[in-house]
Structure 1
Amino acid sequence: MMTRLALVLMWLLHFLPLPLQATLGRGLGLLLYWLVGKRRRIALTNLRLCFPQLSEAERNTLVRRHFAVFGRSFIERGLLWWASPARLRRIVRVEGMQHLDAQSGRPVILLVPHFVGLDMGWTRLTLERDMVSIYANQKNLLFNAALYRGRLRFGNSQLLSRQQGTRPALRAMRSGMPFYYLPDMDYGERDTIFVPFFGVPAATITGLSRLARMGKAVVLPVITRMLPGGRGYVVEIQAPWTDFPGESIEADTRRMNAYIENEVLKLPEQYFWLHKRFKTRPPGESGHYEKKRD
């Protein structure tokens, strides 16, 4: 019942001007900062590991800012699910489309780090191209169904479950669909190696290198920035990586994490810090996240 009410509320709110939605979203995020202690502690742990040079007060300020933009991304998700294509084109600007256009006829991997605007980037780009991506099922079945429908509103894009593996994505890439790929979370030990992320060994999937090799694909990074004051979003398609894949899968994976680090430093509050990025540890190393329950 609560999920249905939340979805109705999101549908009603999507009619509001974006600056007002942004204000409500920031308010929701700050409320969650106080109510969801477990996620707040996860974010603070991540920041302590990644930014040890910051003071505790500075990390707390950054976490509050992160919750504010996370709240915005949740409220503004209603636009993705119900706003008209014309409104989405006004709200979300695309830069660097020429980099994607130049790859016509070649398999393409869009490297998409977990910034809060990534769903805006996906929906906006599906107005221009059919794409393929892999998704993780949500525990709430009703919300999961809404997410699935919302992400496939436009064109003939494909969403593959993680259980299907990467072969269907390879086939889609070879047929001309860019692969909107999100490889920077802790998915456990399978198909991962430990490489540094902000100097901390992080279990990192090697799929970017492996897929580029198997599919003979070019890699184009994509960053979606949430603009302040409810002024919308910018999807930046960056130039293709040169000399990739490189000498080894490990070197490629290190390059990916180093690239993401550099982008995070530009938008630290917009990176998804609520995820246990360092949950999987090398053998013999203790965990970083507390066991305390809320």
Structure 2
Amino acid sequence: MIQRWLTPLSYMHPRYWLLWLGLGVLYLLVLLPYPLLLRLGGRMGLLSMRFLKRRVSIAKRNLELSFPAIEPDQINLKLADNFSSLGMGLMETGMAWFWPDRRIKKWFDVVGLENLDASPEKEQNGVIVIGVHFMTLELHFRILGHCKPMTVMYRPHNSKIMELVQKWGRSRSGNSLVSRKKLVCMVHTLKRGGVVWFAPDQDNGPKGSVFVPFFGVDQTATTNGTFTIAKLARPKLVTAVVIRKPDGLGYQLIISPELQNYPYDDNVAAANYVNRVIEAEIMKAPGQYLWLHRRFKTRPLGEKSLYI
């Protein structure tokens, strides 16, 4: 009983005050009208390039590696566009966590909602939703949950305050969050006919990964997570992304039809397949993708880093 009371009180420790202040400022900011948030977020993102030098370097290198045929001046334009999107992504995080349902739904269109239903021949096998790390990710969880509450695989946050707020925000529309390490739990959920969200587009290190092409890099560490779950549960697979409409007209959640010919019995072919699918999703709005992550960090044994 004592522990139950002490734990919430520990969140008020002075070392967390600055973080709570930041969350409070974000809450107040997202009370502004959406068109103003769009402009403010974009400008904040561009301004952040002066201070986030390391992230600027990583994003630029990712763009160079992914699109080797693009000229340097075009890379710089894409880089600026991406950081403008990053600033708006901060606003969208606040919108996802703090906006009421009626305000969220006002700015959304949904395409392919029917694709979240299990196909008749796989009714008891559930659906895997392959997610992609766009800047709109928090809005993605919020609106997807309104369409169909699902089990979301995620990486717990290192900060217990951010973990508390993140879990609260992502579960507001009925989603349940499970650590991405608990693959067996995901299999059981699918075999009960449930829906599982899983994003296999980041570098999780060499363990449980294979090296297959991704954009312009032939050897990219790609998780076997999708393959492991899919092989055991044999679910339907779809993709889902949230992208901003042009000219500040809101958002579109796009849910694909069932992916065809997924190789359930070959992990390398499956990783290759998923990377091609993710590339196609990213190209729907490449400026809105999270290029700040070191996607090509893990290299085959003996290869030097691509970020030197």
Q: TM-score range by the shorter chain?
A: over 0.9
Q: Secondary structure at the match of 2:240?
A: strand
Q: Secondary structure at the match of 1:266?
A: coil
Q: Please list every run of at least 4 consecutive aligned residues from structure 1 whose deviation after the TM superposition is greater than 6 angstroms.
A: none
Normalised to the residue count of structure 2, the TM-score between the two structures is 0.89
Q: Which residue of 2 aligns with 1:193?
A: 210
1:246 Cα deviation after fit = 4.7
1:186 alignment partner AA = D
Q: 1:53 aligns with which of 69, 75, 84?
A: 69
Q: Secondary structure at the match of 1:127?
A: helix
Aligned length: 288
Q: Whose Rg is larger?
A: 2
| In the alignment, structure 1 residue 253 sits paired with structure 2 residue 271 | yes
CA contact (8 A) 1:108 1:219 kept: yes
Q: Which residue of 1 aligns with 2:199?
A: 182
> Residues 173-198 of structure 1: CA distance to partner in whole angstroms, max 9, x if unpaired?
22333111101100001110000011
Q: Which residue of 2 aligns with 1:226?
A: 244
For the residues of structure 1 that align with 2:52 and 2:160, how far apart are their CA atoms? 21
| In the alignment, structure 1 residue 272 sits paired with structure 2 residue 290 | yes
**Larger deviation, residues 278-287 vs 26-35:** 26-35
List gaps (5 residues or longer) in structure 1.
none
For the residues of structure 1 that align with 2:248 and 2:97, how far apart are their CA atoms? 18
CA contact (8 A) 2:127 2:237 kept: yes
1:81 alignment partner AA = W
Q: Secondary structure at the match of 1:76?
A: helix
1:141 Cα deviation after fit = 2.7
**Larger deviation, residues 35-44 vs 70-79:** 70-79
For the residues of structure 2 that align with 1:135 and 1:74, how far apart are their CA atoms? 19
> Residues 50-87 of structure 1: CA distance to partner in whole angstroms, max 9, x if unpaired?
11111221111101100111110111211211211121
For the residues of structure 2 that align with 1:140 and 1:31, how far apart are their CA atoms? 25
List gaps (5 residues or longer) in structure 2.
1-16
Q: Secondary structure at the match of 1:289?
A: coil
**Larger deviation, residues 259-268 vs 83-92:** 259-268
CA contact (8 A) 1:19 1:229 kept: no
For the residues of structure 1 that align with 2:147 and 2:66, how far apart are their CA atoms? 36
For the residues of structure 2 that align with 1:15 and 1:257, how far apart are their CA atoms? 38
> Residues 209-239 of structure 1: CA distance to partner in whole angstroms, max 9, x if unpaired?
2211101101011121122333221110000
Normalised to the residue count of structure 1, the TM-score between the two structures is 0.93
| In the alignment, structure 1 residue 170 sits paired with structure 2 residue 167 | no
